[in-house]
Amino acid sequence: MSKVPARTAAISEAHGKADEGAAPRAPNALAWLVLSGLVIWLDAVTKGLALEHLRLGEPVAVIDGLLNWTLVYNPGAAFSFLSDASGWQRWFFAALAVGMSALLTVWLARTDRRDWRQAAPFALVIGGALGNLVDRLVHGHVIDFIDAYWGTAHWPAFNIADSAIVIGAIGIALFGLLAKAGD
């Protein structure tokens, strides 16, 4: 039995021809981008409804004392970070969204499709980042409309894309810590 040189084996694998003795590689997690697409779609639909039915800055009570729908335009990032900057932040956050989404897509391509603890959080962050990117490119700002509060203390307004980013980031951190604890 002859051994195949490493360079030849790498070229064969890159062209879809695995070594005869190698175990078949599990499918990658790019199929999880369907979840990203779902987040982008749901985000766009809810923002469209907010633009159609809400007036800027006027709260509509959903659960009195806890939740309003309030249309807000956010030219900054989370918690209105850099919202009062001169406009450069629009392109900075757009580039950041593209870069992070590209990086996470590469990581998805390297992740086993069955590893939902890694794939789902990546897909949620990608969907959220691209959902807000659409707003930045189309409107010049992000459309927020979910206003959670307790008494007079209001959490900064947010949207479905923001929620997906936060849930995804928590998942990345939590499942990353759990994986480290299991080692």
Active-site choice (43, 135, 147, 162):
162
| Mean pLDDT within 93-100 | 94
> Comparing 178 with 81, which gets the higher pLDDT?
178
Q: What is this structure's pTM?
A: 0.82
Give the mean pLDDT of the chain: 87
Active site residue 144: yes
- Asked whether the predicted pLDDT for residue 174 surpasses 60, the reply is yes
Residue closest to 158 by CA, chosen among 96, 77, 88, 45:
77
Active-site choice (64, 144, 147, 183):
144
**Contact present, 157 and 47 (Cβ < 8 Å):** no
- Asked whether the predicted pLDDT for residue 58 surpasses 90, the reply is yes
Other CB atoms within a 10 A radius of the CB of residue 124 amount to 27
- pLDDT per position as a tens digit, 135-171: 999 999 999 999 999 989 999 999 999 999 999 999 9
The predicted structure's pLDDT at residue 182: 63
Rounded CA separation 6/26 (Å): 21
Residue carrying structure tokens 């923002």: 47
The predicted structure's pLDDT at residue 75: 81
The predicted structure's pLDDT at residue 26: 81
- Asked whether the predicted pLDDT for residue 32 surpasses 80, the reply is yes
Pairing of strands 153-154, 60-63: unpaired
Active site residue 43: no
The dihedral sign for the CA sequence 99, 157, 35, 132: negative
